[in-house]
């Protein structure tokens, strides 16, 4: 039953991920021709700030909700599941409102001149309302994922992408005559309305869920809300730091890479274009096969949490073997295909093969890039988010140190950033794998 649920949930999320990825690639094909590498570079500068703000306002709670709900769902504690959802929303709503307000005020404050390119200030202002939608929707998605019901998440992802792409391209076409800055504003317009569409859809699914189940009977446990609060806090803090680390790294990389390229002798526009080739072209293609990995990782958390909660060692072993083996095989095959067809892929998708050499170099670390998703989810499901955090920080420091050191070298340039990314993937994945094996053996 557990294997069937895992495969079913993974299949549903994979369909949604493939749909979203196809739309996303088509979107990038058109954008690369409409706004070029410089325009993609500008959008890649915006994304880290938005992602960082989204991580801060969600407080690590979506992952904590998945783990807490899955534990209670395995024991049929429906009252506890609702308590987890309501308490998480009580935390996240004011945080989302404050986060959106802070992002808006930051673009009008003395901090605005510190942004790497002033053309991203206006688009950032439009993203502030999207933070509220992202935060609230993430709790409902986590609530359903904890019950291994992936349909609401999959449908919300598809709706978000449809609105993001269609309205974003429409905005680019309408605003491009006014300049590149306004064209990027059109993309951001699509992102904001995409997040709103996702929120509306998950709220609709929750309304259907409550109609079918009704209100669960309360239990006579006076300190239960306090216990749930403490549990959510203990789970959320490491997850928040993990996501914060990833978002901060993304933000630092988008600032550090152009800066170090300029130190190597490149001009500002050329450095921005190279960032667009790496972060806007090569990296999306490298992570294209994660349409199979990310759904698996998402499903692993509730599956492993339920198996561990019930003490089912045999089922847990099967889940670990299947997940690790699948991730490594997809990584090997995906990396090989990307390596062999890097030039045709970049030509077809972007109309230029300038990013192909970067993609070839990054494909060598593909198995480790994918494996780190799975090991993080396994450790989260086992209730060890602190170890997952340590692994993530180790890979992050390795990556940033090498980017800072190597990218400024005139003989390496953007290839120094590639080496930093590859080393970070390898270190994080191997550390996660070693800890997974150690924890399982210790518990056996």
pLDDT of residue 144: 92
Cα gap 16→316, rounded to integer Å: 26
**pLDDT top residue among 246 and 358:** 358
pLDDT in tens, 278-301: 887 888 888 888 878 888 887 777
Site of tokens 């001149």: 113
82, 84, 86, 88 alpha-carbon torsion, rounded to 10°: -160
Question: What local confidence, expressed as pLDDT, does residue 17 receive?
Answer: 81
Check residue 196 and give its pLDDT: 93
Are the CB atoms for 93 and 235 separated by under 8 Å? no
Pairwise CA distance, residues 380 & 238, whole Å: 10
Percent of the chain with pLDDT over 70: 93
User: Does 69 score more than 80 pLDDT?
Assistant: yes
Q: Looking at 311-413, list the stretches that DSSP marks H as alpha helix, in order from N- to C-terminal side.
A: 313-340, 342-350, 356-363, 366-381, 385-406
Please report, for residues 190, 261, 268, the alpha-carbon distance to residue 406 in angstroms, rounded to integers and kept in the order given.
Answer: 36, 10, 18
d(Cα 416, Cα 404) in Å, to the nearest integer? 8
Confidence of residue 228 (pLDDT cuts 50, 70, 90): confident
- Cβ–Cβ under 8 Å, residues 184 and 43: yes
Query: Whole-angstrom Cα distance, residue 172 to residue 178?
Result: 10
**Could you tell me which residue, 410 or 9, shows the higher pLDDT?**
410
pLDDT above 90 covers what percent of the chain? 17
The reported pTM is 0.70
How many angstroms separate the most distant Cα atoms in the chain?
69
Evaluate if residue 220 carries a pLDDT over 60. no
> Is the separation of the CB atoms in 143 and 156 below 8 Å?
no
pLDDT bin (cut points 50, 70, 90) of residue 444 is: low
The Cα 358–Cα 284 span in angstroms is: 12
Give the pLDDT score at 53: 82
Mean pLDDT of the chain: 83
Query: To which residue do tokens 């307000």 refer?
Result: 101
Question: For position 116, what pLDDT does the model report?
Answer: 58
Is the CB of residue 253 less than 8 Å from the CB of residue 403? yes
Name which of 24-28, 90-94, 245-249 the model is least confident about: 245-249
For residues 266-283, give the mean pLDDT: 82
Whole-number pLDDT of residue 158: 92
Nearest by Cα to 173 from 159, 185, 161, 162: 185
Residue range 86-99: average pLDDT?
88
Angle between helices 151-175 and 2-34 (to 10 degrees): 0
CB atoms within 10 A of CB 321: 10
């Amino acid at each position: 039953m557990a294997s069937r649920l895992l495969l079913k949930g993974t299949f549903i999320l994979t369909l949604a991920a493939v749909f979203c990825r196809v739309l996303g690639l088509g979107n990038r094909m058109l954008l690369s021709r409409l706004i070029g590498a410089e325009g993609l570079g500008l959008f890649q500068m915006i994304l880290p700030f938005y992602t960082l703000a989204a991580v801060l306002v969600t407080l690590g709670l979506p992952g904590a909700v998945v783990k807490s709900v899955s534990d209670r769902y395995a024991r049929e504690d429906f009252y506890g599941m609702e308590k987890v959802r309501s308490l998480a929303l009580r935390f996240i709503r004011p945080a989302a409102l404050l986060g959106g307000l802070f992002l808006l005020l930051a673009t009008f404050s003395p901090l605005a001149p510190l942004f790497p390119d002033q053309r991203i200030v206006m688009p950032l202002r439009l993203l502030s309302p999207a933070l509220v939608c992202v935060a609230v929707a993430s709790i409902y998605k986590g609530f359903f994922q904890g019950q291994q019901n992936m349909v609401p998440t999959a449908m919300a992802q598809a709706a978000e992408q449809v609105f993001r792409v269609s309205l974003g391209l429409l905005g680019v076409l309408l605003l491009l005559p006014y300049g590149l800055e306004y064209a990027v504003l059109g993309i951001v317009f699509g992102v904001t309305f995409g997040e709103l569409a996702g929120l509306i859809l998950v709220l609709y699914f929750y309304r259907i869920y409550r109609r079918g189940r009704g209100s669960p009977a309360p239990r006579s446990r006076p300190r239960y809300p306090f216990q749930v609060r403490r549990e959510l806090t203990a789970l959320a803090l490491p997850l928040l730091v993990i996501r914060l680390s990833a978002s901060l790294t993304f933000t630092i990389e988008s600032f550090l890479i152009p800066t170090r390229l300029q130190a190597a002798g490149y001009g500002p526009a050329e450095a921005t274009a190279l960032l667009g080739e790496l972060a806007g072209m090569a990296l999306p293609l490298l992570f294209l096969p994660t349409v199979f990995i990310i759904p698996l990782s998402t499903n692993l958390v509730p599956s492993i949490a339920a198996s561990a909660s019930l003490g089912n060692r045999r089922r847990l072993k099967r889940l670990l073997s299947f997940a690790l083996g699948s991730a490594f095989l997809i990584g090997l095959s995906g990396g090989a295909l990307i390596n062999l067809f890097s030039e045709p892929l970049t030509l077809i998708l972007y109309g230029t093969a300038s990013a192909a050499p970067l993609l070839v170099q990054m494909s060598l670390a593909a198995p480790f890039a994918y494996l780190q998703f799975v090991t993080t989810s396994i450790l989260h499901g086992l209730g060890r988010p602190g170890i997952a955090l340590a692994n993530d920080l180790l890979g992050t420091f390795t990556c940033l140190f090498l980017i800072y050191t190597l990218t400024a070298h005139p003989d390496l340039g953007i290839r120094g950033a590639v080496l930093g990314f590859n080393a970070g993937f390898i270190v994080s994945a191997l550390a996660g794998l070693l800890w997974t094996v150690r924890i399982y053996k210790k518990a056996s």
